[in-house]
Chain A
Amino acid sequence: MTDLELQNWQEQWQSEPSIPMNLRKSVERQSKLMRIGLIGDVAVTLVIGGGSIAWAMRAGNGEFVPVAIAAWMFLAAAWIFVLMANRGLWSPSAMESSAFIDLSIRRSRRTLATLWFAVALFFAEVAFGLGWAYIHSVDRRVSMTAWLLFSSLRVDVVWLVTALFLGGVVWYRRRKQYELVRLLELRKQMSGPNFENEFDDGSLFERKGWRFYDSRRKHRGKPDRSV
């Protein structure tokens, strides 16, 4: 290996002078989408929260007041959850690569850990909503089980949404777990061979029997005792 060789490589490498597509436009588009997303979150809060208050006020008999209170409690819990999940994890993407990968790993772990809170919150909302609807249903002679299963299309929609939500959670969790394993793997690769002994989280996943673990690893299911 000589410096002349390196110089040749540099010339060959830099012989691709293509200025990429209109990046400016794509950045503007993404910025706009991001703003829309943020506005969307706030809009959902205002529509659900404001709507429930308006509904309670319009009814005027106090019957819907618990719904409005519960709606705001659930919204507050969701916002607290989001803010707490991101606490200390926000950071500009311009940090050094080694620090960035550590941050990405922490972010992935925290997302996985807090996913259960989202599930619990969803079920609390469903339980409250169905409970309230049952208590205020026209025909209370029907048993609750029968009411939950056969009463109306609206209740069926709740079950459908629940199934979709759970499917989404499973999918998202698997994706996040995969990302975490890939990040741990990348950190190992980026930190050199001695690093493996300190952070062998891969075997931890394997011991727990999570099947998403690196499909390229040959001895799946058997903890690697060599590390």
Chain B
Amino acid sequence: MDRTILEQQFERILATQGPALSRLAASYTNTLSDRDDLLQEIAFAIWQALPKFRGDCSERTFAFRIAHNRGITYLSRARAQNTDPIEEIEVHDPAPGPESNLSQRQRAEKLREAVRRLPIAYRQVITLTLEGLGYKEFSEVLGISESNVGARLTRARQLLLEGLEGQK
């Protein structure tokens, strides 16, 4: 494939999926610098895999597959599961500072922390759900059957709810 086309495609994926990929990377890591490192790995893996991408799935599915796979590799290399308190990952708030936004940001941060604490199988399905993927895309990303997705998602939501309540 022509390099210019590849570059355009790559730019498009980063522009449309960049924030989602950043959030997925954050769900695998505990610190901001780790998130950035993982995000760079994901971007590089997307660039390397692009020439082989034949459009058999959507670009979003393609990018999310790579993101989760790099996340798995990251977890397998991490020396030990860090149980230290999670460093806060900054939230850019588009609206300037009323107090209601502060609590909204805190809720968002609590949600992210609860997601990061989920077991990997549930964390994967919940992050995909939170990004708005459907069951079909789930199974395309994770390689599990659609019926399995339903059961896993129900359990994941339950665990997430418990996690959030546990934080209160």
Contacts and interface: CB of A to CB of B under 8 A. Distances in A.
Q: Report if A and B associate in a common complex.
A: yes
Contacts, number: 151
B44 A16 contact: no
B18 A96 contact: no
A183 interface: yes
Interface in B64-94: 65-66, 68-70, 72-73, 75-81, 89-94
- Interface size range of chain B in the complex: 35 or more
A99 B68 CA distance: 12
Interface class of chain A by DSSP: helix
Contact of A18 (B45, B90, B140): B90
Interface class of chain B by DSSP: helix
Interface in A145-196: 178-179, 182-183, 186, 189-192
A20 B47 contact: no
B62 interface: yes
Interface string B154-168: 000110110000000
A10 B130 CA distance: 5
- Interface size range of chain A in the complex: 35 or more
A97 B125 CA distance: 12
A71 to B, nearest CB: 33
A1 B44 contact: no
Interface in A9-33: 9-10, 12-21, 23-24, 26-27, 30-31
Contact of A183 (B20, B65, B76, B129): B76
Interface of A: 1, 5-6, 9-10, 12-21, 23-24, 26-27, 30-31, 92-101, 104, 178-179, 182-183, 186, 189-192, 215-216
23 contacts: A1-B157, A9-B130, A12-B111, A15-B104, A15-B105, A16-B26, A16-B92, A17-B92, A18-B91, A18-B92, A19-B18, A20-B39, A23-B14, A23-B40, A24-B14, A30-B40, A31-B47, A94-B49, A96-B141, A178-B79, A190-B120, A191-B121, A192-B121
